[in-house]
Amino acid sequence: MTVMEKFSKTIPLMNPWIDQWKNEGKKILGYFCSYIPEEIIYAAGILPVRVRARDCTDTPMGDAYMTPTACSFTRCCLELANRNEYNFLDGIVSCNCCDQIRRLYDNIRYKAPFPFHYIMGVPGNVNETTLDWFRHELSKFKKIIEKSFNVTITDEKLRDAIRKYNKSRTHLKELYKLRMKDDPPITGTDILNVISAGVSIPRDQFNELLTELLRDIDNVEGSSDHRARLMVVGSLLDEPEYLKVIEDLGGLIVTDSLCLGTRYFWDLVDEESDPLDALAERYLSRVSCPRMSGGQHERSEFMLKMIKDFKVEGVIFQRMKFCALWWAEIFMLRNKLKEEGIPFLELEREYVLSGAGSMKTRVQTFMEILEQR
């Protein structure tokens, strides 16, 4: 089995690593947002798993309890929770990342409760006051984990978890740097498989797989059979097949601004500072998403730097239907691209891959426009 085949085994909700973790009697917590520090959970000897719902095909329960304008991701999550598809979890951790996730948390507690529930407050901007406040929130979260699961999270355990997660971030950056090549040895589809594994298997095993992957592809000659180098920007995307549709049409995805992409790993945690101070600083000040007010200029500059560093020829915005945060954000980002003369395509989608025919037509047209340039 190749290392990429191993990564692909983590795509379903349940995977061999989770099975083994549960068989050893260990706990698993599901979390909903990349603003929740996995290191605190992992330092407690608990596996943090990003809650996803790729096995969802219809949402009668989600439609009944969520509003008609709730995004399909939240409706799918509620649907699978009601069907007991998340029974391998010992609890869930959420935050006020957006109104729809907040309502999802309330509905799960009411309709499909878990043994443990926790919602973390995350400030909407970054300054000295909010950093202090967020540090206090992390301290509260640490204490409730210790009390609820009868564990002790020492500073040394936190520092060890931080080192392991920083190792992952460093390896992922090395992987992305290989995509700067004219003929990258790895596709955007494969990258999403890799990062999806990172949020669903133990960190030690993930780092081992990353090390193996970097060794295997370091001197591999990549394919030059592509029509344009692309960047994908937008809301939650955990469906590799969505990117495969784009790449099958000749668009090579070389970088991104996604919460299962660069926004997940781009910034390191300071390993020398007080652990909770360092986690608060990193998670609040990292490459932000539109839930953070006052950070739009930095997000635009990050996008433009990625475009320059990775020699991007076109940008694809993908926005989940009814995602108000990304509707406003994309409006501003596309104005920036117009100023810079960079072509872009905006795709609205549901969480479950659908409308592939229409999507192919629009992407094909976009590829032709890029080729004419």
CB atoms within 10 A of CB 285: 16
Contact call for residues 88 and 28 (beta carbons, < 8 A)? yes
Percentage, residues of the chain above pLDDT 70: 100
In this predicted structure, the answer to whether residue 357 has a pLDDT above a threshold of 80 is no
pLDDT in tens, 166-221: 999 999 999 999 999 999 999 999 999 999 999 999 999 999 999 999 999 987 88
Contact call for residues 26 and 321 (beta carbons, < 8 A)? no
pTM, entire model = 0.95
pLDDT in tens, 135-174: 999 999 999 999 999 999 999 999 999 999 999 999 999 9
CB atoms within 10 A of CB 339: 10
What's the CA gap between 61 and 82, in Å, rounded? 8
pLDDT in tens, 61-103: 899 999 889 999 999 999 999 999 999 999 999 999 999 999 9
> Where along the chain do its domains lie?
3-155
> CATH for 3-155, among 3.40.50.300, 3.40.720.10, 3.40.50.410, 3.40.50.11890?
3.40.50.11890
Predicted confidence at residue 354, as pLDDT, reads 75
**Coil, helix or strand at residue 129:** helix
Q: Which residues pair with 28 in a beta bridge?
A: 47
Predicted confidence at residue 94, as pLDDT, reads 96
